[in-house]
Structure 1
Amino acid sequence: MMRRCLSLLFGCALCSAALGQAPPAPERRLIDEIAARAELMSNLEQLCDEVGPRLTGSPGLAAAQQWAMARLRAYGAVNVHLEAYDMGRPWLRGTARARLLNANGMALDVVQKGWTAGTARPVRADVALLDVKTLDEFKAVAPSLRGKLVLVESAPKATPEQRKDPARYFAAATQAIHDAGLAGVLLVSMKENGLRDMWGGPRSLFDRHAAIITREHASMLKRLLARGIVPRVELALNGGFGAHAAMAHNVVADYPGSDETGEMVVLGAHLDSWDLGAGATDNGSGTVAMLEVLRAYHALGLRPKRSLRIVLFSGEEQGLLGSRAYVAAHRDELARIQAVLVQDSGAGRITAFPDMRNDAWYAALTRAVAPAASLGPVDVVYGMAGGSDFEAFANLGVPAFPAMQDERDYRSHTQHSQVDSFEHVDRANLVQAAQVLAVVAWGLANGERLPRSAPAK
Structure 2
Amino acid sequence: MQMRGLWISGWALALGLCVVAQRAQGNRQALATVMGEGLLHSQANQKLEYLTDQIGERLTGTAAAQRAIAWALTDMRGMGLRNVHKEDWTMAHGWTRGPIAVDVIGHGHEHLEAAAMGWTGSTPKGGVNADVISVNAYDLKGAAAQAEANPGAWRGKVLLVRTQGAPPAHYNPLDSFLELTPFLRAAHQAGAVAVIAGQGAGASQGMNLTHTGVLGFNVLFQVPVINLTREDQLLLERLLDHEYGTPVRLHVDVENQATGPVTASNAVGDIPGTEFPKQMVIVGGHLDSWDLAQGATDNGTGAVASLAAARAIMQSGYRPRRTVRVVLFTGEEEGLLGSLAYCEQHKAEMANTIAALILDEGQGPIATLQVGGHDAALPKLEPLAQALEAFPAPRLEDTSSFDTDTGPFILDGVPGINLSQNSPNYRYTHHSPVDTFDHVRQDVLVRNAAEMAVMAYYIADLPERLDAPWTPAQVEAKLKGQGLEAELKAFGLWKFGE
Q: Does 1:286 align with 2:302?
A: yes
Q: Say which of 381, 391, 394 aligns to 1:378.
A: 394
CA distance in 2, matches of 1:419, 1:95: 19
TM-score, L = length of structure 2? 0.80
Given that 1:371 and 1:439 are in contact with CA atoms closer than 8 Å, whether structure 2 keeps it comes out as: no
Given that 2:364 and 2:424 are in contact with CA atoms closer than 8 Å, whether structure 1 keeps it comes out as: yes
- Aligned residue number for residue 5 of structure 2: none
Aligned-residue Cα RMSD (Å) equals: 2.4
Given that 1:355 and 1:365 are in contact with CA atoms closer than 8 Å, whether structure 2 keeps it comes out as: no
Q: After the TM superposition, which residues 286-325 of structure 1 pair with which residues of structure 2 at under 5 Å, given as runs? A: 286-325=302-341
Q: Secondary structure at the match of 2:412?
A: coil
Given that 2:339 and 2:408 are in contact with CA atoms closer than 8 Å, whether structure 1 keeps it comes out as: yes
- Aligned residue number for residue 71 of structure 1: 75
Q: Does 1:81 align with 2:85?
A: yes
CA distance in 2, matches of 1:191, 1:291: 31
Q: Secondary structure at the match of 1:373?
A: coil
- Aligned residue number for residue 217 of structure 1: 232
Given that 1:30 and 1:435 are in contact with CA atoms closer than 8 Å, whether structure 2 keeps it comes out as: yes
What displacement does 1:410 show? 0.7
What displacement does 1:377 show? 2.5
- Aligned residue number for residue 190 of structure 1: 204
Q: After the TM superposition, which residues 13-412 of structure 1 pair with which residues of structure 2 at under 5 Å, given as runs? A: 25-121=29-125, 122-131=127-136, 133-141=139-147, 143-153=152-162, 175-188=185-198, 189-200=203-214, 203-204=218-219, 207-229=222-244, 230-242=247-259, 244-411=260-427
What displacement does 1:386 show? 2.3
CA distance in 1, matches of 2:335, 2:310: 27
CA distance in 2, matches of 1:97, 1:172: 26
Listed as ranges, the gaps of 5+ residues in structure 2 are 1-26, 165-169, 171-178, 477-495
- Superposed CA deviations along residues 50-86 of structure 1, whole A, max 9, x for unmatched, are 0000000111111111111111111111111111111
CA distance in 2, matches of 1:221, 1:170: 21
CA distance in 1, matches of 2:192, 2:225: 10
- Superposed CA deviations along residues 171-215 of structure 1, whole A, max 9, x for unmatched, are 865553332110111115531311110111564595422211112
Q: Secondary structure at the match of 1:64?
A: helix
What displacement does 1:89 show? 2.4
Given that 1:369 and 1:439 are in contact with CA atoms closer than 8 Å, whether structure 2 keeps it comes out as: no
Q: Secondary structure at the match of 1:366?
A: helix
Q: Percent identity?
A: 33
Q: Number of residues paired by the alignment?
A: 424
TM-score, L = length of structure 1? 0.87
What displacement does 1:111 show? 0.9
Q: Secondary structure at the match of 2:131?
A: strand
Q: Secondary structure at the match of 1:353?
A: strand
- Superposed CA deviations along residues 252-288 of structure 1, whole A, max 9, x for unmatched, are 1111110245000011100000011111110000011
Listed as ranges, the gaps of 5+ residues in structure 1 are 1-22, 161-168
Q: Amino acid of the residue matched to residue 248 of structure 2?
A: P
Q: Amino acid of the residue matched to residue 194 of structure 1?
A: N
- Aligned residue number for residue 165 of structure 1: none
Moved more, 191-200 or 381-390: 381-390
